[in-house]
Amino acid sequence: MSDVFVFGPAPERLPVTTEVVRGLVAEQFPQWRDRPVRPVDDGGWDNWTFHLGDDLSVRMPSAAEYALAVAKEHDWLPRLAPQLPFPISVPVALGRPSADYPFDWSVRRWIEGTPASTTAIADLDRLATDLAGFLAALQRIDPSGGPGPGVHNWFRGGSLRTFEPFTTRALATLRHRVDVDLARAVWSEAVDAPWDGDVRWFHGDLAAGNLLLRDGHLAAVIDFGTCGVGDPACDLAVAWTLLDTTSRRRFRALLDVDEASWARGRGWALWKALSTVANAPDPDEPAAVAARRAVGQVFAEFTGR
């Protein structure tokens, strides 16, 4: 899920055609020039994604803001992948700008799977267990030299106070649609919750579209464009966006999350969900429906403690 709405006007997306991708591949990676190229269904916002044969994909940033992550992922994902319990989208080649396309781009291994959704998940308790195991493994990886919060990852891993103006703006828009006083109570607790300064790796966007399922169970984690090192509480947001009361408790217990980290994670879930609802052009679009569910989960868990 993109953060363009909460950081200002959406960047103008650069259109990328199959012909452009085919030409770039032929020019820079002639070993793959005879492979068929076709767009991926629902390939996301931040990147245009294309199949390159059956086992590779081409990922083309749709704007300069998103291109900042390409070199980072090319450098770090091959190092992270062997230490994680589920496959991740590891780049196999780094493409360079050309006369036909202005940004770095990448070729990756294609991972089969269906994006997660509340209706597609076979067992929420198992998903909670798998997600906790994935995050525990990611957080154990040595963070030395890793990329800290910044523009490249929309300041994931940093202070929630960065998002104060966007949360305030969303609440003003939604003042007749959500319990604003309750939202402010959740937010205040989150921004005031201290972080112990223990820098660890995080994914940064464990959204439904970045979790792939097979037979209803977690099969892979993709799109590490927002990854980095810092406060990993941003990855806890998935507890409210995909899990329910029982599986959320399991997830927290397996990760052994302290009260302050849990409060910050709740805040990450809240600001993103509020901003998505506030900026959705159609209140019935899937992203808006999912965000309203997340807001409800945050409110119910906060008041039911």
Residues 90 and 237 both lie in one domain: no
* Tally of domains in the chain: 2
Last residue of one domain, picked from the residues 49, 81, 110: 110
Proportion of the chain in helix, strand, coil states, percent, rounded to 5: 45, 15, 40
Q: Hey, what long-range contacts does 12-16 have (CB within 8 A, 24 or more apart)?
A: 12/63, 13/45, 13/62, 13/63, 14/62, 14/63, 14/101, 14/102, 14/103, 16/48, 16/60, 16/62, 16/101
The CATH number for 267's domain is 3.90.1200.10
Residues 63 and 158 both lie in one domain: no
Last residue of one domain, picked from the residues 110, 137, 166: 110
The CATH number for 83's domain is 3.30.200.20
pLDDT for 9: 53
Q: Is 17 left (phi over 0), alpha (psi -120 to 50) or beta?
A: beta
Residues 247 and 280 both lie in one domain: yes
Query: Which segments of the chain are extended strands (E)?
Result: 37-39, 47-52, 56-61, 91-95, 105-109, 114-115, 200-202, 211-214, 217-221, 228-230
pLDDT for 27: 98
Alpha-carbon gap, residue 271 to 166, rounded angstroms = 8
pLDDT for 203: 98
Alpha-carbon gap, residue 202 to 15, rounded angstroms = 30
Q: Is residue 146 part of a domain?
A: yes
Query: Contact, 105 vs 240, CB < 8 A?
Result: no
Q: Which of 212, 216, 239, 231 minimizes the C-alpha distance to 88? A: 212
Per-residue pLDDT of the chain (305 residues; tens, 9 = 90+): 444 434 455 677 899 999 999 999 999 999 999 999 999 987 778 899 999 999 999 999 999 999 999 999 999 999 999 999 999 999 999 999 999 999 999 999 999 999 999 999 999 999 999 999 999 999 999 999 999 999 999 999 999 999 999 999 999 999 999 999 999 999 999 999 999 999 999 999 999 999 999 999 999 999 999 999 999 999 999 999 999 999 999 999 999 999 999 999 999 999 999 999 999 999 999 999 999 999 999 999 999 98
- For residue 65, CA distances in Å to 158, 190, 202 come to 18, 27, 20
pLDDT for 43: 73
Q: Is residue 157 part of a domain?
A: yes
- For residue 51, the cross-strand partners are 38, 57
3-state SS assignment for residue 171: helix
Q: Is residue 247 part of a domain?
A: yes
Residue 296 neighbours by CB under 8 Å, 6+ apart: none
- For residue 286, CA distances in Å to 2, 276, 282, 292 come to 14, 11, 9, 10
User: What's the burial of 142, exposed, middle or buried (CB within 10 Å: 0-12/13-18/19+)?
Assistant: exposed
Alpha-carbon gap, residue 292 to 158, rounded angstroms = 25
- Chain centroid to CA 24: 27
Domain span at residue 31? 18-110
Tokens, residue 44: 């996301």
